Each structure stands twice: as C-alpha cells, then as structure tokens.
Amino acid sequence: MSSELTDLCRYPIVQAPMAGGASGPELAGAVAEAGGLGFLAAGYKTADGMYNEVKQLRRLTGGPFGVNLFMPQPVLADPSAVEVYRHQLAGEAAWYETPLGDPDGSGNDDGYEAKVAVLLDDPVPVVSFTFGCPTRDTLDAFAKAGTHTIVTVTSAEEAQSAQWAGADALCVQGVEAGGHQATHRDDPQADHTGTGLLSLVAQVRETVQIPIVAAGGLMRGAQIAAVLAAGADAAQLGTAFLACPESGANPLHKQALTNPLFVRTELTRAFSGRPARGLVNRFVREHGPYAPAAYPQVHYLTTRLRQAAAKAGDAQGMALWAGQGHRMARELPAGELVELLAGELEAARTALSQRSPR
C-alpha cells in the first residue's frame, strides 16, 4: 500500500466490500480492530443508509475503514432483451409465488452523486470504486478531503486510465474473485474468461506506479505472500470473510461455501446482468446461458426471486457469490481470521527468505 495507506493498518489485509448485506459495520469493525482494513459496501444502499452504517462503524472502532461505491452505468441500449428474460423467468415467479421486480429499480446511478456528497462532507479514511473510474475532479475532491481513493480494475488498460485519472491506489481484481467482475465497460461481445490474479498483478505492476491491492481467490496467508511477491502492496479478501460470524451473509450462503453439493463456481449474468462469480446452483444452470448484458436491470428484475428463495430456505434459487477458493473458507471470528492470515503470511515470508538459492 502507499505509505499513508500502509500506516493506516497493521497488516496488509483488506476485507472486501460486499454489497447485499455481508460487509456491514460489525464485520468492518472487527477487521479494523484486529489490524486490517475494514470496508463498508454502499452498493444498493441509499446515501442515508450508507451514512448510518458509517456512523455505526465509528461507534465500534477508531480503526481504519473504507466505503465502496458503484459507478453509474450507461443507459441500456436495448431494453427488449430484458423483456425476453422476464419471460424466461416467469416459471420462477410462479414457483416462488412472487412477482418479478421492476427492472428500472432505482435507476442506473445507484445514488452515486448523493453518496459522494455525503462522503466529501464527512470524510472517511478510504473510498473505493467499482464498475468504472470516477472523474479527475471527484478524485481530486477526495484527495483534498484527506480520503485515499482506490479504483478497482480488471486489466492493465483500466489500471493505466485509473492512474491517469488520479487514483491513489488500485484494487486489481483477478478472474478468481467472488461477486461481480469490476470491469469498467461491460462488453457483451468480450470474452469473460478474464485474467488470473498473479498474472494480472504482474502486468499491472509493470504498467503503473501507484500501490496495488490484489483481490481474487485469496484464502490463506501464503497466497497473500504470493501476490505481494508479484508486486501487490496488500491483499483484499471477500469470500474468506463471508463465513465469519460478523458477516451479514445469509446462513444458507455461508453453509454453501463448504457444502460438497456445490462443486464449482462460474461467472454468470443470471442474477444481475453483469458477470459475477458464484456457486453454480439450479438458477445459474437454467438461466445463466440466457441472461442478457443488462445491469442493473436484471438485478432489480430478480431481487424478489432471490429474497423469496432465501425465505423458502432454497439455496438453489439464491445468488451464492463466492470466489474460486470458497472450499477453503474458515468459520472464524473476523478478528481471529485477520490474526491467522497475518501469521500465515509471516510464516510464508520467513520460509521464502530462508530458502537457499539453487
């Protein structure tokens, strides 16, 4: 991390922002208290909802934390594809006895401007962005407010433009990552197989000079040591923290991470219209191949279905976001997990430094 960011926390360990309820004040507070960087997720929240969580978190810890914002999305070119998908999901609506949601939901911008205004008015230590890069003016305004900015990127090109725009640091997200790929432009024609984290970190390290936080599939301290060796300054972990008791993830979601019934993850547009990695369940298998590139419209369309599936205790209809390392999840209090990861990292570094050159 940049010297200022490194100074914020004891360990180079960042708890990923996880929208949808997993990373609230309780999780972020426990991570911050243990010496990592905790994160609140402002995605799908109103500016007021976000600010309430910031205030709650400040009551729990004086430690460092960040807030993550979704960048506004371009207007959908072809809404008819969403209508076709609505028909595809009619059987689900009947099965879960719930109407489908309004695809226009709360619009394309997720309240971005209002959230930026709140965070500039009452600054927090770190703000990160996903699904795009803010303007130079916005990044400058945060710098003036004393807030460190991190822009999430999935390619060397995105990394370069974020550096040019004035980001303080990058979150480099590999294809292994759980949840949405943070790609700045969702190109439906593009191949969404993505780039593996180690390779991407090495590429980005050779492209930009600013600090890198590496994310995607990291579950153990030895993996953190590997990304640091590849050029990252810190590691961001989502799935590893999902299973913690402080995580607000649905208990069925937590259990599914290590349930042998779920053998693999996949990038799917089935639930939201943007590629996101989750455990492959019935819903992903049946609808993934037909889901259009229409985010956030598909997210709003499926919101009630996902809620109804959760209420019915049916993990086969829920969005079970998870990274490729999900089976290695450990159900530990977040503070203990941070300490354990930090110990494993130290051990891996010591082992590497003691290995004699051949």
Ligand X SMILES: Cc1cc2nc3c(=O)[nH]c(=O)nc-3n(C[C@H](O)[C@H](O)[C@H](O)COP(=O)(O)O)c2cc1C
- Residues lying near ligand X in the complex (CB under 6 A): 16-20, 22, 41, 43, 68, 130, 152, 173, 176-179, 182, 215-218, 236-240, 242, 321, 323, 325
- Which residue, 22, 6, 2, is CA-closest to 334? 22
Which residue, 16 or 118, is less far from ligand X as judged by CB? 16
Taking residue 218's Cβ as centre, other Cβ atoms within 10 Å add up to 30
Q: Which is nearer to ligand X, 93 or 279 (CB)?
A: 279
Nearest-angstrom CA–CA distance, 167 and 165:
6
Which spans in 233-296 are helix H?
239-242, 251-258, 282-287
Q: How far apart are CA 283 and CA 4, in angstroms?
A: 44
- Taking the complex as a whole, the smallest distance from the CB of residue 281 to ligand X amounts, in Å, to 14
Q: Tokens 């090109």 — which residue?
A: 157
CB of 340 to ligand X, least distance (A): 15
Nearer CB in complex with ligand X: 93/183? 183
DSSP track, 80-107: HHHHHHHHHTHHHHHHTT-PPP-TTTT-
Q: How far is the CB of 45 from ligand X (least distance, A)?
A: 10
Cα–Cα distance, 55 to 37 (Å, whole number): 17
Closer by beta carbon to ligand X, 81 or else 269: 269
Nearest to 141 by CA among 113, 108, 172: 113
Closest distance of CB 51 from ligand X, Å: 17
Report how many helices (DSSP H) and strands (DSSP E) the chain contains, helices first.
15, 11
The smaller minimum CB distance to ligand X, of residues 93 and 211, is found at 211
Single-letter residue type at 146: G
CA dihedral 29, 34, 36, 41 (to 10 degrees): -20
Give min distance, CB of 139 to ligand X, in A. 16
Q: Is the CB of 176 or the CB of 246 nearer to ligand X?
A: 176
Spatial CB neighbours of 279, under 8 Å, sequence gap ≥ 6: 256, 257, 262, 264, 265, 320, 322, 326
Shortest CB 302 distance to ligand X, Å: 15
CB 270 within 8 A of CB 288: yes
Cβ 322 to ligand X, closest distance in Å? 6
Least separation in angstroms between CB 341 and ligand X: 12
Distance CA 281, CA 303 (A): 17
Least Å distance, CB 117 to ligand X, is 20
Q: Are 344 and 221 in contact (CB under 8 A)?
A: yes
Strands 65-70 and 38-41 turn out to be parallel
User: And the tokens for 97?
Assistant: 């006895």
**Which one, 100 or 319, has the nearer CB to ligand X?**
319
Q: Which is nearer to ligand X, 163 or 324 (CB)?
A: 324
Residue type, 154: T
Q: CB-wise, 93 or 228, nearer to ligand X?
A: 228
